[in-house]
Structure formats: C-alpha cells, structure tokens
Structure 1
C-alpha cells in the first residue's frame, strides 16, 4: 500500500483534473507517479514543465532515457527503472543499451559519458572529480550537454525521491532493481 495514494481525476480540483486529463490524452494513461505528484499541483506542473522544456534540448529522447536509467539505478528506484525501461525501448534503446545505461555505460563514447556522468552526479552528489570531468569532456560532453545532463538528473531525482517517499505502486512492466 502506498504511503501517498495516487489522486484520481475525479477527486482532484478542476485545474489539476484538467492537467491529469491532458496527461491521459497524451500518454493513454495517468501513471501513478503523476497522480501522486498531483497532490501538489506545483510539483506536478513543475515536473511536466521541466520535462517538456528538456525535450527541446540537445539530448535525444534515447539519451534522456539513458540519464533516467542511470539515475534510477543509482537511486534504486524500481518505479523509474520499470517506467524508463519501457520508455527507453520506445525511444530506440536496445536491451543491451538499457542494461549498459543502468550501470553507467553506453554503446558509444558519448552515450557512455552521458550514462557515467549521470550516475556519478547521483552517487557523488554533484561533486564529480576533475579527472572524471576531463574524461567526460574528452568523450564529447561540452558545457551545454553537461548542464543538460545535470538538469535531467535533477528531474529524475525528483521522481526517484517521490517514488521512495510515496512508495508508488509500479504501473509499468516491473523490472528488478
């Protein structure tokens, strides 16, 4: 049983219900994470807004999923690992690429740097060594990509921690942590 139960469209205030209906129209469902965040409309709208904005950045959809998988694994978030395994497949990631991302690796130098940097950000709480940063830069991360990875990690930490606190029921095909 979740610590914070998802909010239903029927019990949400009109504005939040409209947001949840828009999510359902776009995704075909309202993921339990979003319905849980709906208890705090500012948190839900903040998540949705940042997610949409980051979708216009330089990282591809597959690379954003690499970040999500690396962060989800580092934070041992079963909900996010389950969701982003499915979403990652839809973004073109193979099973091998998903496994690699979860362990901070990638199929090419740039994706390996993205995954390694994302995982290091979580594990080192943002204090990545100068030596590691030099390696990520050598693999293709410039200032712009570094900051996009930071922003995507922050977005995923929000969802990872929300799921830990709420004990969100996984409504995607479950994968092991």
Structure 2
C-alpha cells in the first residue's frame, strides 16, 4: 500500500480535477504517479509542463524511453521500470532494446551514447569528466543534446524519487528489477 495515497479525481480541487481529467482523456487513465503528484498541484503541473517541453526536444520518443529505462533501472524504481517498459514498447522499442536500455546500452550507436550518458549521469551524480563529454561528442552528441539528456535524466529522477518516497502502487504490468 502506498505511503502517500493518490488523490482521487473526485477529491481534487476543480483546477487539479480538470488537469487529471485531461490526463485521463489523453492516455485513457490517470496513472497512480500522476494522482500522487496531484497531492501537490505545483508538482503535477511542473511535471506535465516539463514532459510537454521535453516532447518537443531533439530526443525522439524512443530515445526518451531509453533514458527513462536506463534511469529507472539505475535508481531501482520498479514503478517507472514497469511504466516505461510498456511505454517503450509503444514507442517502438523491442524486448531486446528494452533490456539493453535497462543495462545502459543500445545496438544503435547514437542511442548507445545517449544510454551511456544517462547511466553515467545517474551513477556519477551528474559529475561528468571531460573524457565522458568527449566520448559523447565523438558519438554525435553535441552540447545541446548533452543538456537535453541531463534534463531528461533529472525528469526521470523526479519520478523515481517520488515513487520511492510514496511507494506508489504499480498500475502497469509489473516488471521485475532483475535483468
């Protein structure tokens, strides 16, 4: 059972209820993570605004899912791992690509560089060496894309940490942490 209970749509203030209803209309459900964030409407609105902004960046949906899976595995967030496994399949990731992303790698050179960068950002707490940046640059990741990966990692750390604190009940097909 969750330590922080998701906010029921009918218990939300009118503005938050409208936001949650828009989520439900868009994706067909209100995931427990969103309903949990709704306990702090500023957190929910910030999350949704950042998600929208990142969807318009250089990383495509598949690459954003690679980052999400890499970060969820590194942070041991079963909720996010379960959610992004399903979302990743919808974004075109195969079972092998999902497994690779969880391990911080990919068979595609650019996707591999993105996964490695995301993994290093988590494991090194954002402290990249010049060699790390040089490796990313050599793989075609320019400074703008480096920064976009940083923000995508931070975005996923936000949800990982929220789920750790809240012990959010998983409302996606459950994926085990072990690879």
Specify the TM-score bucket, using the shorter chain as the normaliser: over 0.9
Q: How does 1:125-144 map to 2 (within 5 A)?
A: 125-144=125-144
Q: Report deviation, 1:151.
A: 0.7
Distance 1:113 1:176 in 2: 25
Distance 1:152 1:135 in 2: 19
> Is 1:153 aligned to residue 147 of structure 2?
no
Gaps of 5+ in 2: none
Which residue of the partner structure matches residue 108 of structure 1? 108
Q: Report deviation, 1:135.
A: 1.0
Q: How does 1:22-171 map to 2 (within 5 A)?
A: 22-171=22-171
Kept after mapping to 2: 8 A contact 1:61/1:91? yes
Could you list the runs of 4 or more consecutive aligned residues of structure 1 that deviate by over 4 angstroms after TM superposition?
none
Distance 2:132 2:146 in 1: 12
Q: TM-score, normalised by structure 2?
A: 0.97
Kept after mapping to 2: 8 A contact 1:69/1:81? yes
Q: Report deviation, 1:162.
A: 0.1
Q: TM-score, normalised by structure 1?
A: 0.99
Distance 2:85 2:128 in 1: 26
Gaps of 5+ in 1: none
Distance 2:144 2:72 in 1: 22
Distance 1:176 1:129 in 2: 32
Kept after mapping to 2: 8 A contact 1:109/1:140? no
What is the CA RMSD across the aligned residues, in angstroms?
Answer: 0.6
